[in-house]
Amino acid sequence: MILSLLKIVAFLALCGCTIPNDTNSFESIDYSSYWGYYHSIKILNNGKTYFYYGYDHPTRKLYFSLTLDQTQLDSINNLLKTLYTIKIDSTYFLMRDSGRDFGLIIKSKNRRLATLYSGPYSGVTGLSPLFKFVDYIIGLSHKIESSADSSFVFESKQKLFLLHPPTPDLN
């Protein structure tokens, strides 16, 4: 009887060691904001990340993608641990002179967090983990945008201008 009980306890202990704790991991993170242009970021749990910048002009849209490394994914998971401890699953519309407007959806196996925020970006009690998380993922998108090599010269584009001069910019 005691031997059987020890076997059950040992089995449960071994099972507990092999089952990963997914409460702080994510399946996807979806963030969008509007500050004179649309800025969207989608991060999948395998590190594949998509960025979109859409300006008010319909032809000015930029798309980027990259794969985050494990250090970046670990940083996201660590920030999520803090983010899961506060109540963000709601809509915030606060009076302000200037601030941020954004939406954030975090999906994991066991939960889905969604928030809409319009308000000041500082002085909001209890939401600093949310702002820290948003700053981190925005920082990732700025890194990819600033690392894009714009020194390429496309000779074919210059030749194409001989056939069709660019339309004048009316702005």
Global pTM?
0.68
What is the rounded CA–CA span in Å between residue 146 and residue 31? Answer: 20
Q: What is the pLDDT of residues 64-84, one digit of tens each?
A: 888 899 999 999 999 998 888
Concatenated DSSP letters for the chain? -HHHHHHHHHHHHHHHHHS---TT--SEEEEEEESSEEEEEEEETTSEEEEEEEESSTT-EEEEEEE--HHHHHHHHHHHHHHTTS--SSEEE---SS-EEEEEEEE-SS-EEEEEEEE-SSS-TT-HHHHHHHHHHHHHHHHHHHHS------HHHHHHHHHSPPPP---
Q: Residue type for 115, please? A: T
Find the length of the chain.
Answer: 171
> 105-114, 133-142, 148-157: lowest mean pLDDT where?
148-157
What pLDDT is recorded for position 139?
A: 87
Mean pLDDT of the chain: 74
Q: What is the pLDDT of residues 23-49, one digit of tens each?
A: 347 999 999 988 777 889 999 999 999
